[in-house]
Amino acid sequence: MTVASDAHTDHTPGAPAPLAAAYQPAEVESRRYEQWVSGGYFRADATSDRPPFTIVIPPPNVTGSLHVGHALDHTIQDALVRRRRMQGYEALWLPGMDHAGIATQNVVERKLASEGLSRHDLGREQFVERVWQWKAESGGAILGQMRRLGDSVDWDRERFTMDDGLSRAVLTIFKKLYDDDLIYRAERIINWCPRCLTALSDIEVDHSDDEGELVSIRYGDGDDSIVVATTRAETMLGDTAVAVHPDDERYQHLVGREVELPLTGRRIPIVADTHVDPAFGSGAVKVTPAHDPNDFEIGQRHNLPSITIMDERAVVTVHGPFQGLDRYEARPAVVAALRAQGRIVAEKRPYVHSVGHCSRCKTTVEPRLSLQWFVNTGPLARAAGDAVRDGRVRIEPAELAKRYFAWVDNMHDWCISRQLWWGHRIPVWYGPDGETVCVGPDDEVPTGEGWRQDEDVLDTWFSSALWPFSTLGWPDETPELARFYPTSVLVTGYDILFFWVARMMMFGLYAMDGRQPFDVVALHGMVRDQFGKKMSKSFGNVVDPLDWIDRFGADATRFTLARGANPGADVPVSEEWCQGSRNFCNKLWNATRFALMNGATTQGPLPEHAELSSVDRWILSRLQHVIAEVDEQFEAFEFAKVCDTLYHFAWDDVCDWYVELAKPVLGAGGPAADATRRVLGHVLDALLKLLHPVIPFVTDELWSALTGEATLVRGPWPSADPAYLDDAAEAELAALQRVVTEVRRFRSDQGLKPGQRVIATLRGLPGAGLAAHEPLIRSLARLDAPEEGFAATASLAIAGGVDVELDTRGTVDVAAERARLEKDRAAAEKEAAQCRAKLGNPAFVDKAPDAVVAKIKDRLAVAEADLARIAAALEALPTS
């Protein structure tokens, strides 16, 4: 949909501005961006009557810098927002940052350590002050880098998850969830980082296949003995049972009995539980409820005690010879002690298994029983699933919806407390007599002796889950919230579909009375190298987008990323492709410079149809197709197709054909030249607008030079006009292109220099509708008219009935041309034989769809025509 739009003209259009001989991105980008910001072109007006279009930026970490994943994500968002803004929407792209609890605390703690201090030396209040100081001085470097990429965000609305407004939103929703019994405190198994000393969410845990050791241990003796297998022998010190499957006949006689736990002297029961996999190991598993999530569930079902054997730093605390050992020291020590007692039945080394690591510090995560705060996700997750199922939210590409449902339909309760000092502190106070009070933003904090606030802070994802509505002023009923919520599109990588997207869905639907946080979730893939390999410093294939911007320009960087962006698919990139994108920007620059030097204009209406040449009608018709295709591709989030369509239209149709066809017309002058100048200006005007969302800097610079206006940031966006569709002109130019292309191919195969002239006759042009184009064909193909003494030494029979006879004496390598034609004949014979074989096979002809059979017949006809043409060309070659 395209709605009314103004062009934001800052001055009366004047004469086209001169362009430098070559495009220099560094000279244009900073100047253009400051012009956009100072001119207020990115500001969104909540009082406007235009249709709203809203994107809230996935908030980058305050500790972060622009990496290639950000560059892809921001390029896609910016392209969507810029197009809607040009279409006349009130477009809001809201920027901001996440306080990144663990990452930011780690940064500041490292800085303190370099000064010989720890956070405990400062105390909580002073430490938090130091974090705010760091944020003011060093945090948010990525915001400046977003400017370099060209992000058209509304900087006046920048938000931070720890600012006053968003902090008020956090307190409000915590209180609401608490009062609705959707937040509770309990002892559960959580992901624990012994380095960061905090609980972690699932998204903060990276899993990898690590080498370990699978040890089989015999518990008990004689008929009562049972063998269990484990990769973490040290946790046996906390075993409180052995579990077997209730249908496993091998152990049914042992269920309900007890067995002695080695090294401890404790006796533990053997229980039957359906969670056990009889095919794994011996079919019996040790149960350590305090150190394994599955064991915890078994323990709950069988009322088993939970024995914590390690402290927060993963150091063994149980009395005995292993006390004080780190988990990695305790593991071989426990195995050695068991081996000494003859209880090691088998050892498998190496044994590869999945191990979780803290995404921040890479420390192996320790499952740990801990008293934490949780969100009861059951009803919230059901609502999040329903919003997609009933169509309120659309996931693009649609096939990824299955992965979304697999997550929300099986979501565990969410651990939201973190043992940090930086973040939103949990708004719960405990009284001297066991009271517990949850305090909202407008409630009075309990005071008096013995009252204390919970020490933990909230998971960073808790505040970022509010991002689509807290950034618009919630819990207050602001004009921005009424105008711009629900947001239009969420653009993000498929890797956080389960975590951040699902959390925003849950909280948005809950807080906003069932209104979804966004209408569409547009998922893109991960950026990879040109071979599809994951980027890694160890592989040496990591791309720094700032380096590419420095060397090739922001537009080339953006175009390279967008040109690989298919919905939900990984995005391959390479430096060579970025160089190609820079060349594309240069091609646009040179084409526009040529147009300006030859008087192209955007002023006034296009000439009447009768005043236009078939070449002008052709390019206008092609333009209408391209506008329609690009609109369709944008709506489907097919950014790679948008770029490919515009690349080929600009490079092939406009630069390689139309500009070249226009040169002799412009050189001849007269009314035809005036019409071509107007058409050339019109086509470039539309092309630059279509490209602007993806490559904004060079297109804005060129468009201003072409039109004399300040900027095209606010449009208008081109609309396809069916009145300019012209099938006849397109067919005519397609025939012309076939002739020129075939001659150029012949010239290339013969190694002729581009400017070298060849004498030739052209027959059949009138029958092909090309009689009027003979001068153009000769100009483009570098063909001279025949003179006395002309003798054809080569001939080209071109589809459509055109024959070209060339006098190649002294210019053509006859042997090379014969070899080329023989190669082409072999390929055509192979194609014809394959087609005849299929058409001669009754099983194929009878069963294949009619359209498929017709296509094979068409291929055979083309192959036979090629064979006739090649035979004629070979016949025409001189014998020596």
Fold that domain 545-725 belongs to in CATH: Isoleucyl-tRNA Synthetase; Domain 1 (1.10.730)
CA dist., res. 688 & res. 729, Å (int)? 24
pLDDT, mean of residues 854-864: 91
CA dist., res. 266 & res. 667, Å (int)? 101
For the chain, how many helices (H) and strands (E)? 28, 29
pLDDT, mean of residues 332-353: 92
CA dist., res. 494 & res. 21, Å (int)? 43
Task: Label the pairing between strands 267-272 and 258-260.
Answer: antiparallel
In which element (H, E) is residue 555 found? helix 554-563
Q: What is the pLDDT of residues 805-816, one digit of tens each?
A: 888 876 767 787
Output the pLDDT for position 537: 65
Output the pLDDT for position 14: 46
- The H-assigned helical ranges of 39-123 are 68-86, 101-114, 119-122
Domain boundaries, the chain: 183-194+368-458, 209-354, 545-725, 735-876
Output the pLDDT for position 9: 37
pLDDT, mean of residues 665-671: 92
The residue that leads in pLDDT, 463 or 872, is 463
Are 767 and 838 spatial neighbours (Cβ–Cβ below 8 Å)?
A: no
| Residue 777 β-bridge partners | none
User: What phi and psi values does residue 308 have, to the nearest 5 degrees?
Assistant: -85, 125
Question: Tell me, what DSSP letter sits at residue 60?
Answer: P
Output the pLDDT for position 681: 97
For the chain, how many residues are written? 880
How large is the C-alpha radius of gyration of the chain? 36
Q: What is the pLDDT of residues 28-40, one digit of tens each?
A: 999 999 999 999 9
3-state secondary structure 771-810: HHHHHHHHHHHCEECCCCCCCCCEEEEECCCEEEEEECCC
Neighbours of 795 (CB within 10 A): 20
pLDDT, mean of residues 346-375: 90
User: Which residue, 151, 16, 102, is CA-closest to 702?
Assistant: 16
pLDDT, mean of residues 372-378: 96
Please report the sign of the dihedral spanned by the C-alpha atoms of residue 36, residue 37, residue 40, residue 46. positive
User: Which residue, 202, 87, 812, 119, is CA-closest to 500?
Assistant: 202
CA dist., res. 868 & res. 876, Å (int)? 12
Fold that domain 209-354 belongs to in CATH: Isoleucyl-tRNA Synthetase; domain 2 (3.90.740)
CA distance between the termini of the chain: 65
Confidence of residue 851 (pLDDT cuts 50, 70, 90): confident
Token pair of 302 as six digits: 């069988």
Confidence of residue 787 (pLDDT cuts 50, 70, 90): confident
Q: Is the pLDDT of residue 388 over 80?
A: yes
Are 323 and 184 spatial neighbours (Cβ–Cβ below 8 Å)?
A: no
Q: What is the pLDDT of residues 687-722, one digit of tens each?
A: 999 999 999 999 999 999 999 999 999 989 999 999
Helix (H, G, I), strand (E, B) or coil at 603: coil
Are 543 and 68 spatial neighbours (Cβ–Cβ below 8 Å)?
A: yes
Output the pLDDT for position 542: 81
CA dist., res. 760 & res. 774, Å (int)? 12
Output the pLDDT for position 876: 67
Q: Is the pLDDT of residue 12 over 80?
A: no
User: Which residue, 367, 275, 258, is CA-closest to 314?
Assistant: 367
Range name among 246-260, 529-543, 586-600 with the lowest pLDDT average? 529-543
Output the pLDDT for position 4: 40
User: Which residue, 459, 460, 466, is CA-closest to 508?
Assistant: 466
Cα angle, residue 103 at apex, residues 99 and 108 outer, rounded to 5° = 90
- The H-assigned helical ranges of 306-431 are 327-340, 378-389, 401-408
Give the distance from CA 147 to its chain's centroid.
19
Q: Is the pLDDT of residue 855 over 70?
A: yes
Token pair of 290 as six digits: 């305090």
Output the pLDDT for position 16: 54
Q: Is the pLDDT of residue 3 over 80?
A: no
| Residue 260 β-bridge partners | 267
Question: Tell me, what DSSP letter sits at residue 3?
Answer: -
Helix (H, G, I), strand (E, B) or coil at 120: helix
Output the pLDDT for position 812: 64
Q: What is the pLDDT of residues 728-773, one digit of tens each?
A: 999 999 999 999 999 998 888 777 888 889 999 999 999 999 999 9
Taking phi over 0 as left and psi of -120 to 50 as alpha, with beta for the rest, 853 belongs to alpha
Predicted TM-score (pTM) of the model is 0.85
Where do we find the tokens 């390479």? 574
Confidence of residue 2 (pLDDT cuts 50, 70, 90): very low
Range name among 107-111, 463-467, 596-600, 843-847 with the lowest pLDDT average? 843-847
Would the annotation count 534 as a binding residue? Answer: no
Where do we find the tokens 């009366």? 12
Q: Is the pLDDT of residue 539 over 80?
A: no
**Cis, peptide link before residue 194, omega less than 30° from 0:** no
Output the pLDDT for position 526: 87
Range name among 395-409, 527-541, 796-810 with the lowest pLDDT average? 527-541
Average pLDDT of the chain is 92
Range name among 57-66, 116-125, 565-574, 656-665 with the lowest pLDDT average? 565-574
The residue that leads in pLDDT, 401 or 7, is 401
Range name among 380-389, 410-419, 739-748, 792-801 with the lowest pLDDT average? 792-801
b (16+ CB within 10 A) / e for 372-404: bbbbebeebbebbbebbeeebbebbbeebbeeb
Fold agreement between 209-354 and 545-725: no
**Cis, peptide link before residue 350, omega less than 30° from 0:** yes
Q: Is the pLDDT of residue 499 over 80?
A: no
Q: Is the pLDDT of residue 11 over 80?
A: no
Output the pLDDT for position 841: 93
Are 777 and 739 spatial neighbours (Cβ–Cβ below 8 Å)?
A: yes
Task: Label the pairing between strands 226-230 and 205-219.
Answer: antiparallel
